[in-house]
Amino acid sequence: MANETAHTEVPAGGHREFPPFDKQTFPSQLLWLTLTFVALYFLMARIALPRIDSILQRRRARIEGDLAEALRLKEQSDVAIASYEKALADARSRAQALVNDSRQRQAAEAETARKALDATLNARIAEAERGIAQTKSAAMVNVRGIATEAAAAIVERLIGIPPASPDVVAAAVAEALKR
């Protein structure tokens, strides 16, 4: 048995084959490959894949929950925006109504003040017209007196003698003023 070499020893002067390609070890390698594959398959099928599947399901559930929460929050924000826009429109309409009421109230106050001022001015005008009429009538009385005196002075200067009676001169002036 001197020629026989151990399985792990390299024969003298030759090259040893790469172990996976060695024909003598090929059946045992196939057996171990099969056993390892089956063991890994069962480990993956029974332990790793269920864990990965549960992780994926939790992640999917969390994503769906987050999407549902986002949708709920979006609907709430849409409702809040709608109520805000409604409140804003209501506030604008109330403000417009207040402006209109204020404008009408101020116009009514201005009209009342204008009427009061018109009444005051009309009263002053009437009083002034009465004063003018009194002054005019007083002036007319004075004009008659002045006209009578002037007529008497003119007659006296023209004819050289004073008129006989002031009543005659006053009647002549009254007759001239009527024309």
Average pLDDT, the chain: 86
Q: Which of 29, 8, 9 is nearest to 20 (CA)?
A: 29
Is residue 76 domain-resident?
yes
User: Is there a domain that residue 11 lies in?
Assistant: no
**Per-residue pLDDT at 2 exceeds 70:** no
In a domain, 9, yes or no: no
3 part of a folded domain: no
What's the rounded Cα separation, in Å, for the pair 106 and 22?
A: 113
Higher-confidence position of 11 and 37: 37
To the nearest whole percent, how much of the chain has pLDDT over 90? 56
In-domain check, residue 28: yes
If you average pLDDT over residues 131-137, what whole number do you get?
Answer: 86
Q: What is the DSSP letter of 20?
A: G
Tell whether 166 is covered by a domain.
yes
Q: Which domain holds residue 82?
A: 23-178
| Structural domains in the chain (count) | 1
Residue 16: inside a domain: no
User: What does the pLDDT average to over 15-37?
Assistant: 85
Q: Mean pLDDT, to the nearest integer, of 12-36?
A: 81
